[in-house]
Amino acid sequence: MSQPDAIMVRIGEGIALSQRGERDAARKLLTALWDEIGPDGDPLHLCALAHHLADLQDDVHEELVWDLRALEAANSVTEERAQEAGVVGSVRGFYPSLHLNLGEVYRKLGDLDRAREHLEQGRAAAGFLADDGYGSMIRGGLDRLADRLNAPQGS
């Protein structure tokens, strides 16, 4: 059995802090880890870090920057690297969540055309999600985003 990926373990610690409502501590830990790895680090680590750092931003423009970094990094993650790190399923399963987050941030920014583009990309990739709780959560998020985008403006 291989050793756990130490960076992914630390990312998990940051996620756990966030889930306990300790947003500032989570943001500090994950930002320090991002600085340690650097922008040319392992794309899997960069994708996971940026994806979770986006959720910890108070400013929607900063959230967009991190969501775009996560998508860019995901495009460089190989299946072999993901399996080596213990990722269950395919790298293609990353994309529904990444596009969901981008669709939501563009919606918040009022760029509904881009929001719809990412919604459609997320839905197109949703077939790569497992039929489990996580897959259901992401599919439900895509459905809720569609509802918000289809609601009359000002609602």
Examine the pLDDT at 154 and tell me if it is beyond 60: no
Determine the pLDDT at residue 5: 84
Who contacts 119 (Cβ-Cβ below 8 Å, separation ≥6)? Answer: 99, 100, 103, 142, 145, 146, 149
Query: 39-59, pLDDT tens digit by residue?
Result: 899 999 999 999 999 999 999
pTM: 0.91
Who contacts 100 (Cβ-Cβ below 8 Å, separation ≥6)? Answer: 118, 119, 122, 138, 141, 142, 145
Q: Which CATH architecture has domain 1-87?
A: Alpha Horseshoe (1.25)
Domain boundaries, the chain: 1-87, 89-155
pLDDT-based confidence at 89, cuts 50/70/90? confident
Query: How many residues belong to the chain?
Result: 155
